[in-house]
Amino acid sequence: MSEPSPLLLERDAGVAILTFNDPERRNAMTQAMGEAVAECVADLAADRELRAVVLTGAGRAFSAGGDLGMIGSRAREGTQRPGVARRGIRDTMRSFYKLFLSVRDLPCPTIAAVNGAAIGAGLCVALACDVRVASAEAKLGLNFTVLGLHPGMGATWTLPRLVGPALAAEILFSGRVFRGEEAARMGLVNRVVAPDAVLPTARELAAEFAASAPLAVRAVKRALARSPYVSLEDQLSFEAEEQAACFETQDVREGLAAAKERRPPRFQGR
């Protein structure tokens, strides 16, 4: 009997639902799962009909983090060959990060539906999405330091940008675990809901994003990605260029007509 796929893909018109599919191990992040994510993301990124992606986990967890067997193997290699093995481990981990963080390459909005525990690297992947919906009962944490590890998977880059440097330092130094309600107060998640409402809420958000003009939404995503690194003048030029491109589309004509006729727009992405 073949092994079940570590990643499930469901399509609902322009919305894709990606589900980590190893519930018995609380969706621990393995090489096979990462490769499945990267392959699926590459296919979806080329799909011009795609308007939003929801990422979630099967069973009771979003993802409990990196596979402990893999982490233990790296620890044995490092302690047995200190210094000598470091470069190989570094390169292996860097490649591993990129598999899961490929979700950042998706040109459309991404939503993490955090249905349960999101710990360590599992939370890092949720932080790599544009928007997060979490269960009030979900346990979240970046527990790297309590395992004796420096954080990875972009934790020290994404977290300060979401919650600020001081709170990020507290979370990363302590490695403590917190609930969905606290995550919402921090600004780490956009919405916190009852456990059975996580995926439906994420789907509703995805449908809301998908109803907007897709070319404009993709341009907004590009604008938000660059805005922390450029001046206001630079961003104004980028916005003007993108608006000029939108004025050439059928979507802007449809949006204006819908506004005049007081009806929902029907955007075609053209």
Q: Using one digit for the tens of pLDDT, what is the confidence trace for 145-201?
A: 999 999 999 999 999 999 999 999 999 999 999 999 999 999 999 999 999 999 999
Place of tokens 């979900």: 138
Specify the pLDDT at position 68: 83
Q: Identity (one letter) of the amino acid at 201?
A: T
Question: By C-alpha distance, which of 86, 125, 121, 87 is closest to 104?
Answer: 125
Beta bridge partners of 141: 119, 177
Contact between residue 67 and residue 96 where contact means Cβ atoms under 8 Å apart: no
Q: Identity (one letter) of the amino acid at 261?
A: E
Torsion of CA 233, 239, 244, 249, to 10 degrees: 170
CB atoms closer than 10 angstroms to residue 214: 25
* 26-30-31 Cα angle (round to 5): 165
Specify the pLDDT at position 2: 65
Per 3-state DSSP, the chain is made up of helix, strand and coil in percentages (nearest 5) of: 55, 15, 30
CATH numbers and ranges of domains, the chain: 7-210 (3.90.226.10), 213-261 (1.10.12.10)
Specify the pLDDT at position 134: 98
Specify the pLDDT at position 1: 52
Question: Could you tell me the maximum CA-CA distance found in the chain, to the nearest angstrom?
Answer: 72
Q: How far apart are CA 160 and CA 131, in angstroms?
A: 16
pTM: 0.94
Torsion of CA 134, 102, 13, 248, to 10 degrees: 110
Specify the pLDDT at position 79: 83
pLDDT in tens, the chain (270 residues): 567 899 999 998 899 999 999 999 999 999 999 999 999 999 999 999 999 999 999 999 999 998 888 888 888 888 888 888 889 888 999 999 999 999 999 999 999 999 999 999 999 999 999 999 999 999 999 999 999 999 999 999 999 999 999 999 999 999 999 999 999 999 999 999 999 999 999 999 999 999 999 999 999 999 999 999 999 999 999 999 999 999 999 999 999 999 999 999 999 989
